[in-house]
Amino acid sequence: MSGVALATMLVALTLVAVLGTAVVLTADPARQAVTLSVFGLALTVLFFSFQAPDVALAQLAIGAAVVPLMVMLALRRVRRQR
Amino acid sequence: MTRRVRLIVFAAAAAAVGVLLVVTVVGMPPFGNAFHPYRDVAVAAAIAHQTANVVSGVNYDLRAFDTLGEETILLGSVVGAAVLLRPGREERERTEVPEDEPPLQAVRLVGYLLLPVTLVLGLDVVAHGHLTPGGGFQGGVVLGTGLHLLYLAGGFRALERLRAVPPFEVGEAVGTAAFVAVGIAGLAVTGSFLANVLPLGTFGSMPSSGIVPLLNVAVGMEVASGVILLLAHFLDQALRVERR
């Protein structure tokens, strides 16, 4: 394995650990949807660097777009109710 | 359970998981080495069926039955969410949805530019699932998500004008049924459910790998419809449904 590949993997792993912690530490659900989306992007980079492009593609669409969008829409509904 | 008991239970479980993790990691083959027994078997099996994308060969040929199970889980989740999100007795649907503030011009421009590109990319990922990374699931998710660039760029009304819900309900059902139909064809012809019944073709060419592209299209249709239906119900709840 090349040094560049190994370095990319380590950077991606670190990013996932840092951003995952950031998601947990975000208290406000609306802001959490945004940090969750960025975390999803970091996971995409991780999967790609570990040579799983098909998983990365699914993660990009589901984790970085669909799930945060569902959280945002659910929040909007809950807030309108109040 | 008091906080103290919870902490003790957590500490015991965490210690056990920690020990197992360490034991497992120590016993694992070294990172990035050439010993891959599963790869050797899976790649040989995929090449025997002229499937260039081995991952698709695994998902839609070697263990297509598991994929059918996963697809059914998605179908069940979409139906479950639709049932939960339908308007209740004390709620009603507004016929006229107030339009949001128009998005930034830059968002509109990028949204309308990327919409056709994303849809073509999604179709490409589904169509070449047996040749290049991706496949029915990935392509379907790209298609289902990409359509909502229309919501970002043009608002809810633009989305509603081009995305009627009933065709996607049909697509969800037909996609799942098509997967089962391919399986039954295998049962009828060879005696095994989901066994290959089509000519295998030439390795790396568009018509190759037998039933794999067919299953990719079925899954692509089901997943794209599922994502669109799921988001449609969430959008309806967020924008349309209100208390009586």
Measured CA to CA, the distance from residue B96 to residue A76 in angstroms comes to 18
Per-residue pLDDT tens digits for B177-213: 999 999 999 999 999 999 998 989 888 888 898 999 9
Is B146 a residue whose pLDDT tops 90? Answer: yes
Q: Which residue of B has its CA nearest to A6?
A: B32
The model's confidence at residue B101, banded by pLDDT at 50, 70 and 90, is: confident
CA distance B224 to chain A (A): 11
| B102 has pLDDT over 90 | no
* Rounded to 5°, angle at Cα B214 from B210 and B217: 150
Confidence at residue B124, expressed as pLDDT on a 0 to 100 scale: 96
Shortest Cα–Cα distance, A68 to chain B (Å): 11
Q: Per residue in B3-28, pLDDT tens? A: 999 999 999 999 999 999 999 999 98
DSSP 3-state percent helix, strand, coil across chain A (nearest 5): 90, 0, 10
* A27 token code pair: 């208290």
* pLDDT score for A52: 92
What average pLDDT does range B206-234 have in this prediction?
A: 94
pLDDT in tens, A35-66: 999 999 999 999 999 989 999 999 998 998 89
Shortest alpha-carbon distance between residue A9 and chain B (Å): 12
Task: Give the H or E element holding residue B91.
Answer: strand B91-93
Chain B residues contacting A via beta carbons under 8 Å: 32, 55, 125, 133-135, 137-138, 141-142, 144-145, 148, 227, 230-231, 234-235, 237-239, 241-243
Tokens 């070697």 belong to B62
Confidence of residue B30 (pLDDT cuts 50, 70, 90): confident
Reported pTM: 0.88
Decide if A57 and B133 are in contact by the 8 Å CB cutoff. Answer: yes
Q: Do B141 and A74 touch (CB under 8 A)?
A: no
Q: Return the pLDDT at B239.
A: 87
CB contact under 8 A, B235 and A1: no
Residue A80's pLDDT band (boundaries 50, 70, 90)? confident
Phi, psi of B243 (to 5 degrees): -70, 145
Least confident of B32-36, B65-69, B130-134: B32-36
Q: Are B87 and B93 in contact (CB under 8 A)?
A: yes
pLDDT score of B242: 81
What pLDDT score was predicted for residue A82? 67
A40, B165, B220, B226 from B121: Cα distances, Å? 20, 23, 13, 18
Interface residue A7 vs chain B (CB under 8 A): no
Rounded to a whole number, what is the distance in Å from the CA of A23 to chain B's nearest CA?
Answer: 22
Average pLDDT of B28-45?
87
Residues B169, B225 contacting (CB under 8 angstroms): yes
Average pLDDT over residues B16-44: 91
Instruction: Quote the minimal CA–CA distance from A51 to chain B in Å.
Output: 10
* Interface probe with A: pick from B55, B234, B242, most Cβ of A within 10 Å: B234
At residue B222 the predicted structure's pLDDT band, cuts being 50, 70 and 90, is very high
ipTM: 0.89
Chain A / chain B CB contacts < 8 angstroms: 54
- Is the confidence at residue A79, as pLDDT, over 80? yes
- Comparing alpha-carbon positions, the chain A residue that sits nearest to B234 is A73
**What is the average pLDDT score of chain B?**
92
Distance CA A75, CA A79 (A): 6
Which sign, positive or negative, has the C-alpha torsion A16, A22, A28, A31?
A: negative
Percent of chain B with pLDDT over 70: 100
